Chains A and B, each alone.
Chain A
Amino acid sequence: MENIFQYDFIIKGIIGAVFASITAGLAGTYVVSKRLVFLSGGITHASFGGIGLGYFLGINPVIGAAVFGIMSALGVEYLSVKQKIREDSAIGILWAFGMAIGIIFIYLTPGYTPNLMSYLFGSILTVSNADLIALGIMSVILILYFSIFYRTILYISFDEVFARTYSSYVDVFKYVTTSLIALTIVLNIRMAGVILVISLLTIPPNIAMLFTKVYFKIVIWSVIAGFVGTSTGYVISYFAGIPVGATIIFTLVIIWVIAKVLSQLILKLKISKN
């Protein structure tokens, strides 16, 4: 009986790792290349407000988080462009405001909120089949979106001013892409938690960028590095009985360190050959 349970658990973890690394690799490469890490951190924490509201209203907290995530992404744009508030300040405000809303609603929710910690730090135990299906659908959407519009997205991120000289869709693409990033973050909160999810997006592309500087190659290597880190971290967390989010991030950082040393060795080898 225990073996069957264990088998199920591993399968679930591996499927989660595949989808998490695909979504985080695609979204993360965009975020890292365009230097949106701070914005992504803001979106993540602001979405905690939706988790709290979800508990309070008795609806699925992930839905609440998705709404808050997208609203905060667009809110930062609104505050910085229309209200002329510095963008990093706008992020800082929404970051804390979302957390505050979350805490207030969780406090107001009658009774015990059992899964709260899983949202903060991530837990595979609470990842439902519905969560995995949602991540799977998100993977398909992101793969289609980034491969169909690859050049359009690449060129808008690289040089927005030039893109505006030939395209009137620049703003549409910026909003759609940012919203997809927000959704990706929210769906991965179940795996890594609000506090740690940002590194799921940032570490794999940084590992990839040690070896390649071409956008689509960064995506591919990010997904691979992400999968190795997530699945290894997951297995370690399972057998050592420590929180999965923290273990995954710890594993990814170790991989980054190893990759960094490796890239230095490759560089030295190249120099000595010449």
Chain B
Amino acid sequence: MAYLFEMKLLSASYGTTVVLKDIDLKVVENDFIGVIGPNGGGKTTLLKVILGLLKPVQGEIVFNKDLLNANRIGYLPQISTGDINYPVTVSDIVLSGLMIGKGIISRMTASDRKKAAGVIYELGLSEMAGVTINELSGGQMQRVFLGRAIIGDPKLLLLDEPGNFVDTTFENDFYEKLRELNKRMAILMVSHDVGTISAHIKSFACVNRRLHYHASPEITNEDLLSYGCPVQVISHGDIPHTVLKKHN
């Protein structure tokens, strides 16, 4: 299977604080990686490095240029990055996912709008297309931002703590949607919620300054212990999951 990107002995820091150290990670097509680890362990930093928002201080990240470069990655950030009271409509937000690859003088064409309408329909938001973002529920907002991330048909989709939006009625639909998307794109999902993650992923990575990758979805207590990867567990009921002890 072709790889999408590879990190080689990569380290990243904020000022003098080293957040990621000697990371080796190779992500292949159609993988579904759950990235777990404690708060402050470097999960979001990992995404920033992949997105090119943070330059590594050591090592490198190599993209498979045939499939991907830093500008063609779908990204679902934690909700806080956008101003939800900004006067911008659902369809405008979804359309912004097409800014990737457009110049600074960017007009949206009729086919762009058609594409956006299609994505909005697919996510069950057609009635909301002209509504401003602050009129939506948390779950609906999540779908809008997911729409923005996937409208450009990326080969890689990065999800940062999608569980934060939690809207329990939509949660199962959301993960079902991800399973469907995984047929056309690799997914890398950051979460501190092992329970939800373990039911959907194909492989997982533990990030706590260092990174350990496991090419299987079985997250065991022993793995977490040996990796020094304490995680916070949130229980959600109906979804099958394993509850693990907290480590220090």
Does B104 touch A at the CB level, under 8 Å?
Answer: yes
Asked if B96 contacts A151 (CB within 8 A), the reply is yes
Q: Of the candidates A149, A165, A173, A213, which one forms a contact with B51 in the assembled complex, judged by CB atoms under 8 Å apart?
A: A165
**Of the candidates A148, A160, A215, which one forms a contact with B87 in the assembled complex, judged by CB atoms under 8 Å apart?**
A215
Q: Which residue of B86, B99, B132 is within 8 Å of A166 (Cβ)?
A: B99
Rounded to whole angstroms, the CA-CA distance of A88 and B220 in the bound complex is 49
From B88, B101, B105, B107, contact of A154 by CB (8 A)? B88
A89 within 8 A of B: no
Would you call B137 an interface residue if the criterion is a C-beta within 8 Å of the partner chain's C-beta atoms?
A: no
Shortest distance from the beta carbon of A212 to any chain B beta carbon, whole Å: 8
Q: Is the CB of B96 within 8 A of A165?
A: no
Q: A161–B88 contact, CB under 8 A?
A: no
CB-CB nearest in chain A for B75: A165
Q: Mark A136-176, 1 if CB is under 8 A from B, else 0.
A: 00000000000011011011011111111111010001000
Q: How far is the CB of B76 from chain A (nearest CB, A)?
A: 10
A183 to B52, CA, bound (A): 34
Please give me the residue from chain A that is nearest to B89 by CB atom: A214
CB-contact partner of B93 in A158, A165, A173, under 8 A: A158
Residues of B within 8 A of A167 (CB): 99, 104
Q: Say yes or no: A158-B104 contact (C-beta < 8 A), given A151-B99, A214-B132.
A: no
A149 to B99, CA, bound (A): 12
Q: Which of B53, B86, B87, B99 has the largest number of chain A CB atoms within 10 A?
A: B87
Chain B proximity of A264: nearest CB distance (Å)? 18
Partner of A155, one of B77, B87, B99: B99
Q: A157-B86, A158-B83, A159-B82 are in contact. Are A149 and B53 (CB under 8 A)?
A: no
Are A158 and B86 also in contact (CB < 8 A) when A149-B105, A152-B106, A166-B71 are? yes
**Contact A169 B96, beta carbon cutoff 8 Å:** no
| Bound complex: CA A35 to CA B85 (Å) | 10
- Interface size (B, Cβ < 8 Å)? 30
Q: Is the CB of B99 within 8 A of A161?
A: no
Q: Closest residue to B88 on the A side, CB-wise?
A: A158
B81 CB contacts on chain A under 8 angstroms? 159-162
The docked-state distance in angstroms from the alpha carbon of A215 to that of B133 is 12
Chain B residues with CB under 8 Å of A214's CB are: 87-89, 130, 132
Residues of B participating in the A interface, judged by any CB pair closer than 8 Å: 51-53, 71, 73, 75, 77, 81-83, 86-89, 92-93, 95-96, 99-101, 104-108, 130, 132, 134, 148
Other than the known A157-B83, A162-B82, what 4 A-B pairs have Cβ atoms closer than 8 Å?
A151-B108, A152-B104, A165-B73, A167-B104
- Listed A/B pairs (26) with beta-carbon separation below 8 Å: A34-B86, A35-B83, A151-B99, A151-B106, A152-B99, A152-B105, A157-B83, A158-B93, A159-B96, A160-B81, A161-B77, A161-B81, A162-B82, A162-B96, A164-B53, A165-B53, A165-B73, A166-B71, A166-B101, A169-B104, A213-B132, A214-B88, A214-B130, A214-B132, A215-B92, A218-B87
